[in-house]
Amino acid sequence: MLILVVVLLLFGGKKLPELARGLGKGIREFKDASDGVKREIHRNINAMDLDKEEAEETAVNHSQRHHPTEESPVDEKAEASAPNIDLAKPTDEKIITDKEKV
């Protein structure tokens, strides 16, 4: 109450509504900015939780994979389109380039 009397004496009755309006706008802007910061913090926390869940799911999926020595299902289409090359057999064929053909 004492503060209101001092403000009224310093600024006068005509300036008091303008000051109140400016103070209200300032408080509203501060509140909006703080709400934005809160939303950003919550968004980051949720993103971290999702990342943690993905990491846990990935770890579970990796542990459930087949052992490399176990047979895994073969993609028949990929096998049919791949050329049949025996890598254990040495080849003595010379590679002929386009320049050599001419």
The token pair that represents 75 in the structure block = 């993609």
Residue written as token pair 């990491």:
55
Structural domain boundaries in the chain: 34-61
| pLDDT value at 30 more than 90 | yes
Reported confidence tier of residue 41, pLDDT bands at 50, 70, 90: very high
| pLDDT value at 26 more than 60 | yes
CA distance 27 to 14: 21
**pTM score of the predicted model:** 0.42
How far are the Cα atoms of 58, 68, 96 from residue 91, in angstroms, in the given order?
Answer: 43, 30, 14
Reported confidence tier of residue 62, pLDDT bands at 50, 70, 90: confident
| pLDDT value at 10 more than 60 | yes
| pLDDT value at 68 more than 70 | no
